[in-house]
Chain A
Amino acid sequence: MHIDENTPDAGWFTGTLEATVGFLRAGSLWPVTFGLACCSIEMMATGTSRFDISRHGSEVFRGSPRQADLMIVAGRLSNKMAPILRQVYDQMAEPKWVISQGVCASSGGMFNNYAIVQGVDHIVPVDIYLPGCPPRPEMLINALTTLQDEVKKQPLWQSRRKEIAAAAEAAALKATPTSDQFGLLR
């Protein structure tokens, strides 16, 4: 997107529709109010004046998933809670994004047992994995701004989406799988 500063009285800018829509979407990602465990305390702290998530346009935590764009999975997800989380995700209107906050949400973390889902990516598609136990509010804000960068680049048209999915798949096929990375665990 380009704003012309040289033309006198220019009330316009140039850019693609894709970039403009992405810019607007990224500026107001409203998270759904959905705290699961101790990570949600950090999520709440992120909304307070000290850290002030509203600087990034995300201060409006929505009680109704219909009005939310972003789900921050804040904490460990139990097997019993999993269908509820999925229902809240399904009720959110497209486009929607998911941040998996903390190790428990991302991989089960320290709770490798019968009661906890070993990573919420079993239940919902995750856009950003945020490590930490729990991550500081600064880290959550970093995850949010990283997600905003992704949202700004998100393609609008179906053909472009296929292109990007194919590129991502090709990159994943080229990467060394963790099972082949020997000698790194101490």
Chain B
Amino acid sequence: MTSGNEISQVAPEGRTLINVRTGMFGATGDTTGYDLMNTVVTMPGATERPYGSWFDDAVDILAELLGDKADEAIQYVVVDRGELTLHVAREHLLDVVRHLRDDQDLRFEMCLGVSGVHYPADAGRELHAVYPLLSMTHNRQLRLEVSVSDEDPHLPSVTSVYPMNNWHERETWDFFGIVFDGHPALARIEMPDDWVGHPQRKDYSLGGIPIEYKGAEVQPPNERRQYR
């Protein structure tokens, strides 16, 4: 897998480059052709106004409530496949969710958890946390995305605003190692308590044991295509 500073490819217009993957299964110089594979991983880039639907109004109301901090807090807005995603700076995450929950025109009463994403090649923004929000009053959904670096994986916990996110934040800490500051009890939830490492990160080894089957030894999946 390529790391951040090795990416020389330019993203297609309107897309954000996440990673460029070359080869597959570690194969080099054989006849499979896997080493010739070149996969460009991109995400939809920032969207220009008008966003369409109720999105413009919602972003305007949120910006008005945030006041001076609005430009800094809402880094950019993505509208893709009819869904609204706000990329938020972590320093202002708590302000943003509080306004989204409390304002009568926004009323996003529910936070449906927090998902972690690991983009190892996205230098300085390796870890993303994604919060899907739901407004039952207005029947609307939007998504918040916050990115942090691998060296400083700290985010404010939103449990003070959305208490139902308690276990979800523990899970994201468990699997991705994102530290949620202010969480009442940030302990592991899925893995055993004494586990070392965060298994859903891309650089975490899949593990497994070699299997002996009728005289042949089959390697664990993450070592199958290593020609040594």
- Given contacts A178-B215, A184-B214, A185-B214, are A112 and B208 in contact (CB under 8 A)? yes
User: Which residues of chain B are within 8 angstroms of A107 by Cβ–Cβ distance?
Assistant: 211
B181-218 contact mask (Cβ, 8 Å, vs A): 1 or 0? 00000000011100000010000011111011111100
Which bucket holds chain B's interface residue count? Answer: 10 to 19
Task: Find A114's partner among B190, B206, B216 (CB 8 Å cutoff).
Answer: B206
In the assembled complex, A101 has its CB within 8 A of some CB on chain B? no
Output the least CB separation between B68 and chain A (Å): 47
Give A118's nearest chain B residue, CB to CB. B209
Q: Give complex CA distance A179, B212 in Å.
A: 7
User: Which residues of chain A are within 8 angstroms of B213 by Cβ–Cβ distance?
Assistant: 178, 185
Interface SS of B by simple majority: loop
In the assembled complex, A87 has its CB within 8 A of some CB on chain B? no
Give A81's nearest chain B residue, CB to CB. B192
User: Which residues of chain B are within 8 angstroms of A179 by Cβ–Cβ distance?
Assistant: 212, 215
B206 touches A181 (CB 8 A): no
Task: Find A113's partner among B192, B208, B212, B215 (CB 8 Å cutoff).
Answer: B208
Output the least CB separation between B191 and chain A (Å): 7
Output the least CB separation between B137 and chain A (Å): 38
- Given contacts A80-B192, A118-B209, are A113 and B214 in contact (CB under 8 A)? no
- Given contacts A113-B206, A114-B199, are A183 and B215 in contact (CB under 8 A)? yes
In the assembled complex, A5 has its CB within 8 A of some CB on chain B? no
Q: Give complex CA distance A180, B207 in Å.
A: 27
How many A residues, CB 8 Å from partner?
16
User: Which residues of chain B are within 8 angstroms of A178 by Cβ–Cβ distance?
Assistant: 212-215
A79 touches B192 (CB 8 A): yes
- Given contacts A112-B220, A112-B221, A115-B199, are A180 and B191 in contact (CB under 8 A)? no
Give B222's nearest chain A residue, CB to CB. A113
Output the least CB separation between A114 and chain B (Å): 3
Q: Give complex CA distance A179, B206 in Å.
A: 26
User: Which residues of chain B are within 8 angstroms of A180 by Cβ–Cβ distance?
Assistant: 215
Task: Find B220's partner among A79, A113, A181, A184 (CB 8 Å cutoff).
Answer: A113
Give B220's nearest chain A residue, CB to CB. A112
User: Which residues of chain A are within 8 angstroms of B206 by Cβ–Cβ distance?
Assistant: 113-114
A181 touches B221 (CB 8 A): no
Output the least CB separation between A91 and chain B (Å): 21
Q: Give complex CA distance A179, B205 in Å.
A: 27
- Residues 116-148 (chain B) with a chain A CB within 8 angstroms: none
Task: Find B221's partner among A80, A113, A182 (CB 8 Å cutoff).
Answer: A113
Output the least CB separation between B59 and chain A (Å): 41
6 tightest A-B CB contacts, nearest first: A114-B207, A112-B208, A182-B215, A184-B214, A185-B216, A181-B214
Binding site for B on A (CB under 8 A): 79-80, 107, 112-115, 118, 178-185
Given contact pairs A114-B206, A178-B213, enumerate 19 new A-B contacts (beta carbons under 8 Å).
Answer: A80-B191, A107-B211, A112-B221, A113-B206, A113-B207, A114-B199, A115-B191, A118-B209, A178-B212, A178-B214, A179-B215, A180-B215, A181-B214, A181-B215, A182-B214, A182-B215, A183-B215, A184-B214, A184-B215
